[in-house]
Copies of this chain bind each other. A is one copy, B any other.
């Protein structure tokens, strides 16, 4: 756990007042900077020590084979793993020939601050080398929301006595990564290298071009520098090699003098553009950044955030810690979604390699509600990303013997990457979640053009999926059998209430939208018969109800299953999935996360207030919250049914999930959803 007292409570920043080397990987996630396109983990400028280095480009992934000891029809053969790309944050410092390393010498002061309004990560260090030379170092790091660049301002000042300084500003590709844990929720242990294609260095600029072997993507990373120092400061000619770019600056400073380095970083990637085109694109972005300058970037960043906070800020009275946590969460959600530009918003954003960088239903269900009302363009772009992968989703539906489109459970580029179908492919609700997010965006933005271009087609294809997935039984009820709902401690059940209610919404939304857009609907082949079939299915959807208990079972027969033996489950046995087989979890009444309670939230219109209260009470005792996607929903419904204390507790749990490292896996990235 991150030792919480080392974070100070303040309204508009997250400040770490002491460096704890044991939790470097966690703080690397917490202090990550991103703009939805580029993500840089909050590692130390000098590169070492590090918990888990990480630089990411949204959509830049490598493929890996998915192994099966026993194969099966329709199992995805290739997975996608977010690539750790060329690291441009590294600035090594030598003070009188001794490398600055916080593990050696004396660290008199070390403070890092993530500033939610300035949109920068500040660092302030006072260090005395083993030989006794004291220096003051500050750095300010930024990933611009406005321009496609990142930048670092790095300043050093000797204290007490003069010092000879050497700065090495680097680009490092294929940096070694630490080994992973056995926890299935972390990244896969995939080792791969970027293939060097080109490198060039000139003056203070280096560009390295690499490509991925399996996924066939090409990327360029570039850096340029502006150096200011006392007379005699010398900036060497840029060096470049396959996996390394370096610019070296030497200076001799008196106390009171400063060496100031501004480092600009630019990235570009493509599945189609040539080495030369990417190299030039990055060089151009660097030229643009030099032109704008550090102060210009800083001003742009603040302007963007002023605008954001004006719309998005949530003020809380009486709980400064939660106030900070809520702004922290909003800031990171913005960082995940801001410039996604029709790419996925991953479960961990661009803050770490957890879940292999995959996007799940979390995006539509937990991230887009925030973005829809704060940065609606980002919500629209995320939905356009789904639309861009519609062809793949149609292929997948066809492979599964279904109509319409079946979106993947987990993916980067649109192909299904889940190798465990009971908790992946069978969780078809992702399709209704996308439809629900569409309806939410549509209700907020009334974006008629978007509906015509993308929204309607998504609704139609997902409605077709549901129509072919369910069937009318002999009593006329529309059943959806053998699917998996949100709760990951259940799988392959009949008539999951959440799924059926969301499918119902999907089916009628599609029929409504087709009515609103008759021309486009006609182009998509929707005729009155088809729309009527959707409405029939929606109307007849089967919602099981347990008369004896007076509650909705999560899925048919759920309430007849044995209740989990909570009494004999020790605290060390959580999360349950690491200590009990899926077999046992699936067959008993125990929930990893809100499932029916999420239905109470998203389809609140389908329940009476009394039903909500009874259902909430029933599932409350069964939900262990081994998932981060639970407390937030439980907080909402607890508040709705009148359990305000409980709601407040859940709210705290949800808000502090990463700051307190409640899930013990913040090291792999933040829980954006």
A-side residues, CB < 8 A to B, are 66-74, 79, 182, 184, 188, 399-401, 418-422, 425-426, 471, 473-474, 479, 481-483, 491-492, 494, 548, 556-557, 560-562, 577-584, 586-588
Contacts and interface: CB of A to CB of B under 8 A. Distances in A.
Nearest to A483: B587
Classify the secondary structure of A's interface with B.
Answer: loop
A64 to B, nearest CB: 8
Contacts of A580: 73-74, 401
Nearest to A481: B587
B581 A74 contact: yes
Contacts of A474: 548
Nearest to A493: B492
A233 to B, nearest CB: 53
Nearest to A584: B401
Nearest to A561: B481
Given A72-B582, A422-B492, A479-B561, 19 more contacts: A67-B69, A68-B419, A72-B184, A73-B582, A74-B581, A400-B583, A421-B581, A421-B582, A426-B583, A479-B560, A479-B562, A481-B557, A481-B560, A481-B588, A491-B492, A492-B492, A494-B560, A494-B561, A556-B557
A70 B184 contact: yes
A341 to B, nearest CB: 29
Contacts of A421: 581-583
A66 B580 CA distance: 19
B425 A583 contact: yes
Contacts of A70: 184, 418-420
Contacts of A471: 562
Contacts of A556: 557
A354 B534 CA distance: 47
14 contacts: A69-B420, A70-B420, A73-B577, A73-B578, A73-B580, A73-B582, A74-B581, A422-B422, A479-B562, A481-B561, A481-B587, A482-B586, A492-B583, A494-B587
A68 B71 contact: no
Contact of A419 (B69, B491, B557): B69
Contacts of A560: 473, 479, 481, 494
Contacts of A399: 581
Copies held by the complex: 2
Contacts of A418: 70
A182 B71 contact: yes
A479 B561 CA distance: 8
Given A69-B420, A420-B69, A586-B492, A400 B581 contact: yes
Contacts of A67: 67-69
Contacts of A548: 474
Among A548, A562, A577, max chain B CB count under 10 A is at: A562
Contacts of A583: 74, 400, 421, 425-426, 482, 492
A581 B74 CA distance: 6
A239 to B, nearest CB: 40
6 smallest beta-carbon distances between A and B, as pairs: A482-B587, A69-B419, A67-B67, A74-B581, A66-B69, A471-B562
B481 A425 contact: no
A481 B562 contact: yes
Contacts of A483: 587
A116 B168 CA distance: 84
Contacts of A587: 481-483, 492, 494
A79 B587 CA distance: 26
Contacts of A74: 580-581, 583
Contacts of A584: 400-401
A419 to B, nearest CB: 3
Contacts of A69: 66-68, 79, 188, 419-420
Contacts of A481: 557, 560-562, 587-588
Contacts of A401: 580-581, 584
A410 to B, nearest CB: 10
Contacts of A79: 69
A549 to B, nearest CB: 9
A399 B582 CA distance: 12
Contacts of A578: 73
A581 B72 contact: yes
Among A69, A182, A548, max chain B CB count under 10 A is at: A69
A273 to B, nearest CB: 31
Contacts of A562: 471, 479, 481
Nearest to A69: B419
Contacts of A588: 481-482
A422 B182 CA distance: 22
Nearest to A182: B71
Given A400-B584, A560-B479, A561-B481, A579 B420 contact: no
